[in-house]
A and B are shown apart, each in its own frame.
Chain A
Amino acid sequence: MITRIGVVMFPGSNRDIDAFNALRIAGAEPVLLWHESADLGDVSGILLPGGFAYGDYLRAGVIARFSPVMRTVADFAGRGGPVLGICNGFQVLAEAGLVPGALLRNEGLRFVCREVALLPERLDSPFTREIPARRPLRMPVAHGEGRFYADPATLDALEREGQVLWRYATVDGEVAGPGNQANPNGSLRGIAGVANAAGNVAGLMPHPETASEALIGSDDGLGIIRSLVVSAEDWSSTGSIAIGSRPAVMESAR
């Protein structure tokens, strides 16, 4: 049976159709989840797309956090289901406390819309397992509030526990910390995306769904979308996400 992945549509989401397209290319069946509905249907994975949910008023992602669908998404995540937030979706997950850290106003104060190089930290996570090799991936960013922040002790813990999944890098694959031209927003330690402690919820600021076809410049993002789909297949058939011989995600997530 084809894997069904829910794509949440908030008022102001604008990358939902790109996410639909990328999920189809990755072999899944995308399903629209409306923000006012608390019913996930029979999806086995969830993608929170980019955009400006609820206008990004107050702080990006915070008002979306209190929508009916997010209570159900939190419950799904608590049961170990895979959830990926992209850009604004990452901001929503961070505001909801489903992934660690916060996304602050870009250091340069400007909205940044350009291609970046994204270095996967590890290839054995539920959201990086289908990336073919650990090399910089080309994909766009488009955000005004993407500067990853956590206090130093939390940053140390995230690195120690393997929760940092992606960092901004130079085209040569060197990690780009704040101040480096290859870091678009001043994210601490170059962090572009992180996972929760259990490993089944992750968010990133760059747009893998927009880099899913060679025709439009890059298909480097497809490995991330495929990873979500494969992990969703795992979860729906076994109730956990396994990579290789060991469980990648603890059964009692969160």
Chain B
Amino acid sequence: MSEPVASYRFAVNVTPKPGILDPQGKAVERSLPHLGIDGVSGVRVGRRVELSVAAADEAAARAVVERLAGDLLSNPLIEAYEIEPLPVAEAAG
């Protein structure tokens, strides 16, 4: 029999690197006066990807997510990413 496999749930948060012009963030900022909100600046729009990985342990699962995050979910020239472990209960569905 192979090793026991468990399911691990993660979020990958991808954001534009500092210094990269983010026109989406600028558009959000420009809309704030219409909402009567002031004092908000530095808006940066990114992307969040949630996923489940079947692996022998959490370290192995994280290694898969690292590879996925660096190769596919982000472009290292322009984006940074953070991996966030999620409670497995969120994996329903």
Interface residues of A (CB under 8 A from B): 58-59, 62-63, 66, 95, 101-102, 104-109, 147, 149-151, 186
Contacts and interface: CB of A to CB of B under 8 A. Distances in A.
Given A107-B23, A149-B20, A62 B77 contact: no
24 contacts: A58-B72, A62-B72, A62-B75, A63-B72, A66-B72, A95-B75, A101-B77, A102-B78, A104-B21, A104-B78, A105-B24, A106-B23, A107-B21, A108-B23, A109-B23, A109-B24, A109-B27, A147-B21, A149-B20, A149-B77, A149-B78, A150-B77, A151-B77, A186-B21
Contacts of B21: 104, 107, 147, 186
B78 A58 contact: no
Contacts of A66: 72
Contacts of A104: 20-21, 78
B73 interface: yes
Contacts, number: 32
**What 5 A-B pairs are tightest by C-beta distance, nearest first?**
A102-B77, A102-B78, A109-B23, A107-B23, A102-B75
Contacts of A106: 23
| Chain A interface main SS type | loop
B25 to A, nearest CB: 11
Residue among A58, A95, A109 having the largest count of chain B Cβ atoms under 10 Å: A58
Interface string B67-79: 0000011010110
Interface in B56-90: 72-73, 75, 77-78
A219 B23 CA distance: 34
Given A58-B73, A62-B72, A105 B23 contact: yes
B77 A59 contact: no
B71 to A, nearest CB: 8
Nearest to A66: B72
Interface string B13-42: 000000011011001000000000000000
A186 B23 CA distance: 10
A153 to B, nearest CB: 12
B59 to A, nearest CB: 25
B75 to A, nearest CB: 6
Given A58-B73, A150-B77, 17 more contacts: A58-B72, A59-B75, A62-B75, A66-B72, A104-B20, A104-B21, A104-B78, A106-B23, A107-B21, A107-B23, A109-B27, A147-B21, A149-B20, A149-B77, A151-B77, A186-B21, A186-B23
Contacts of B23: 105-109, 186
Contacts of B78: 102, 104, 149
A163 B32 CA distance: 41
Contacts of A186: 21, 23
A163 B24 CA distance: 30
Nearest to B71: A66
A104 B25 CA distance: 13
A107 B72 CA distance: 23
